[in-house]
Amino acid sequence: MSTHAASTEASWETGDNGVAVLTHDRLDVQAIAASVADDTAGATAVFIGTTRNSFRGKAVTRLDYQAYSSLAVKTMANILRDACNKFTRSDHRTDKQQVSAVIKCTVHHRLGTVRVGEPSIVIAVSSPHRKESFLACEYILEEVKARAQIWKREFYEGEKEEDAEWKSNNGP
């Protein structure tokens, strides 16, 4: 399969301690989790999305990811910024300041061929307390799946390559 000219490596920093990355390299979960480490954090939530080995009874051999990288990385960075702005409350705060409860957040997404069992997306969020890191992590995942200009094609055992299906997260 040809690689799309626009499906290139890209990364974007939001300026609010958020980093969005698209890469052909394998995702290093330890390094990504460590990248949001902060001495003021009491919690780090990490989500790892991996390639599943079956779809409706068919054996999946691999997934190919493609992105409109220059736009997708901006969309991902906007989602990180939204996550920082959305989760501002902490039950433990005594003052009334509206500060972000997200200290650092990052989303890394694979491009190209991802074999069964390998991570295709890793999200890490650090926060002072556990609740906001869980919530922000889930928010980032759902928004990336719904909005980021990234596509996956699923290849099945015993089927021709050209019959492989481009998936949709929102459609039937």
Partner 1 sequence: MSTREITVLYFAAAATATRLDYERIPIPADGGLPLSSLSQILASRHPNKGLDQILATSQWSVNEEMVDDVSTVVLKGGEEVAVICPVSGG
Applying CB under 8 A, the span of 12-20, 27-35, 37-45, 159-167 interacting with partner 1 comes to 159-167
21 binds partner 1 (CB under 8 A): no
Q: Is 10 strand, coil or helix? A: strand
Nearer to partner 1, 1 or 37 (CB): 1
2 binds partner 1 (CB under 8 A): yes
Per DSSP, 84 falls in state: H
Q: Report how far residue 72's alpha carbon sits from residue 131's, in angstroms, rounded to the nearest whole number.
A: 28
Applying CB under 8 A, the span of 13-21, 84-92, 127-135, 150-158 interacting with partner 1 comes to 150-158
- Number of Cβ atoms within 10 Å of the Cβ of 104: 22
138: exposed, middle or buried (C-beta count within 10 Å: 0-12, 13-18, 19+)?
Answer: middle
Interface of this chain with partner 1, residues 96 to 125, rule: CB under 8 A: 109, 120-121
Nearer to partner 1, 84 or 144 (CB): 144
